[in-house]
Chain A
Amino acid sequence: NAGVTQTPKFRVLKTGQSMTLLCAQDMNHEYMYWYRQDPGMGLRLIHYSVGEGTTAKGEVPDGYNVSRLKKQNFLLGLESAAPSQTSVYFCASSPRRVNQPQHFGDGTRLSIL
């Protein structure tokens, strides 16, 4: 009963490097989301997807790109990492029915030096 799985769990990058965070869900959910969580700021939405092949910007999209090539996967990319992107990143998913709560993975802790 995996739910939402995020890989990797931890990563340290140098400024300017690129990487991709992977999110996979096995609940057949239509909607998927990427958040970052920073102390005192709470959870902030980066990008989201309402279905395979679709993506949309959230509250803090700059510096990130996403892709949803398969319904069960949602990828978050950092093209040129900056220290300001040091954070804990959470992926979530929810069913297609409106106003449904979201189910979260356990996060990826990313440090950018």
Chain B
Amino acid sequence: QKEVEQDPGPLSVPEGAIVSLNCTYSNSAFQYFMWYRQYSRKGPELLMYTYSSGNKEDGRFTAQVDKSSKYISLFIRDSQPSDSATYLCAMINTGFQKLVFGTGTRLLVSP
């Protein structure tokens, strides 16, 4: 069993829709959670960074962490065609430098 599970998609939505992307994990030692966005033929770009449980909002993006369920989510409001990309979740153990990544969910937003 992988430490981090993520549905590969693709997830297809119309422009303006609310998108929900999710990851589950098995290691309760994970404390720091990230979402990266990766456009085709580009490197992952940090989108959101959160610590422990709770919500964090940045513009149209909201990251949510539920440590009791070992479940993290990224919500995108008013989705745009420019949001079409692969979204990778990642997490770190406390005091540890190595990230563990999900395999990524491909999102397609159609005009």
Determine the chain B residues whose CB is within 8 A of the CB of A45 once the complex forms: 98-99
| Shortest beta-carbon distance from B104 to chain A in Å | 6
The closest CB in chain A to the CB of B8 belongs to: A40
Task: Give the most central of B8, B43, B104: most A CB within 10 Å.
Answer: B43
Q: How many positions in chain A have a CB within 8 Å of any CB in the partner chain?
A: 22
With A40-B8, A42-B88, A43-B88 known as contacts, the answer to whether A102 contacts B43 (CB < 8 A) is no
| Shortest beta-carbon distance from B59 to chain A in Å | 18
Q: How many positions in chain B have a CB within 8 Å of any CB in the partner chain?
A: 26
| Shortest beta-carbon distance from B39 to chain A in Å | 10
Determine the chain B residues whose CB is within 8 A of the CB of A58 once the complex forms: 98
Contacting residue for B99 out of A4, A40, A102, A105, CB 8 A: A102
Stretch at the interface among A14-22, A60-68, A79-87, A93-101: A93-101
Separation of A101 and B101 alpha carbons in the complex (Å)? 12
Determine the chain B residues whose CB is within 8 A of the CB of A103 once the complex forms: 46
The closest CB in chain A to the CB of B104 belongs to: A42
Contacting residue for B103 out of A40, A94, A99, A106, CB 8 A: A40
Determine the chain B residues whose CB is within 8 A of the CB of A94 once the complex forms: 97
Check A99–B31 contact: CB distance below 8 A: yes
Determine the chain B residues whose CB is within 8 A of the CB of A4 once the complex forms: 43
Task: Give the most central of B34, B49, B101: most A CB within 10 Å.
Answer: B101
| Shortest beta-carbon distance from A94 to chain B in Å | 7
Check A107–B46 contact: CB distance below 8 A: no
With A40-B8, A98-B95, A99-B94 known as contacts, the answer to whether A104 contacts B101 (CB < 8 A) is no
For residue B13, CB closer than 8 A to chain A, the reply is no
| Shortest beta-carbon distance from B14 to chain A in Å | 27
For residue A74, CB closer than 8 A to chain B, the reply is no
Task: List 27 A-B pairs, Cβ < 8 Å.
Answer: A4-B43, A31-B97, A40-B8, A41-B103, A42-B101, A42-B103, A42-B104, A43-B88, A45-B98, A58-B98, A92-B43, A94-B97, A98-B95, A99-B31, A99-B51, A99-B96, A99-B97, A101-B46, A101-B90, A101-B99, A103-B46, A104-B36, A105-B43, A106-B42, A106-B43, A107-B41, A107-B43
